[in-house]
Amino acid sequence: MVQHCCSADLSANLDASVAGIRKAAAQGAQLVVLQELHRGLYFCQRERVEEFDLAETIPGPSSERLGALARELGIVIVASLFEKRATGLYHNTAVVIETDGEIAGIYRKMHIPDDPGFYEKFYFTPGDLGFTPLNTSVGRLGVLVCWDQWFPEAARLMAMAGAELLIYPTAIGWAPADEADEKQRQRDAWVTIQRSHAVANGLPVVSVNRVGHESDPEGGDGIDFWGHSFVAGPQGEFLKVLGEEEEVAVVGLDRRRSEDVRRIWPFLRDRRIDHYTDLLKLYRD
């Protein structure tokens, strides 16, 4: 996990990600996960057309630099980028890069929020690739992105398609003016919902968030990104929890534990799919 602050200097941000990747690899990491939109500030605090200039193609400059790094270090990298697919068509996209530097696949964020300070629907077209795990040399990765982490359906579909690990690049924080107890409730909910995906699917979860205060470009309070990136095991147990500072952490995962846990908690076996058809409705009136 590489958790760091971001600034308006795109090159410095990418350099910080690269430095974190190198540090993790030096500690034995085989898979490195970066935070959501690690290349720049979280620009979705306001709707401004000039922010589209930040988008890039995939393959493109960032994926090529990270590809060369993955090849040099012999690791798999999960990176989150603002993808320009075509003129007027943009996605919030996670790219998975293999140890040979090639792109193993991409995931385009499916659930797009539109809330005060998080105006993502202005920028991102909902993903069209579905919930399909990506095969890599370190396993079958169920990569999702930020707002996706609140939806049990996304985690379940990844698990049903054979994901061995759920990964959530994230950019989430609170308004500085929020009361302390409200801040605590928000972060607790964020942690709890993702741990529940680990439990319900018998899979480890890796969630990597950014840290630091980012100002509102139009004079609002901005966002305090709370960090607290974490790894949970297949019973929801914490394997590592970071704080609110920049940090790189390497965590060992035993994929055999998912097999063992699913044998004692066979949730997939006992699903009553014959009575779940109403899940295809937006709401039951």
Q: Is 179 one of the catalytic residues? A: no
Of the residues 36, 51, 83, 120, only one is catalytic, namely: 36
Average pLDDT, the chain: 97
Q: For the whole model, what pTM was predicted?
A: 0.96
Q: Is 164 one of the catalytic residues? A: no
Confidence at 219, pLDDT banded by 50, 70, 90: confident
- What is d(CA 81, CA 67) in angstroms, rounded to the nearest whole number? 14
Burial 123-157 (b: 16+ CB within 10 A, else e): bbbebeeebbbbebebbbbbbbbbbbbbbeebbbb
Question: At a CB cut-off of 8 Å and minimum separation 6, what does 156 contact?
Answer: 200, 201
Of the residues 120, 146, 164, 214, only one is catalytic, namely: 146
Question: What SS3 class is residue 231?
Answer: strand
All structural domains of the chain, each given as residue ranges with its CATH number in brackets, are 2-280 (3.60.110.10)
Percentage with pLDDT > 90 across the chain: 98
| Strand blocks (E) in 144-222 | 165-169, 173-174, 205-208, 211-214
For 34-68, what is each residue's pLDDT tens digit?
A: 999 999 999 999 999 999 999 999 999 999 999 99
For 104-149, what is each residue's pLDDT tens digit?
A: 999 999 999 999 999 999 999 999 999 999 999 999 999 999 999 9
Token pair 């193609």 is at which residue? 57
Of the residues 6, 84, 109, 164, only one is catalytic, namely: 109
> DSSP characters for 100-150?
TS-EEEEEE-----EETTEEGGGT-PPPSS-S--EEETTEEEEE--GGGGG
Cβ–Cβ < 8 Å for 193, 57: no
Q: Is 146 one of the catalytic residues? A: yes
Cβ–Cβ < 8 Å for 101, 70: yes
Average pLDDT of 20-32?
Answer: 98
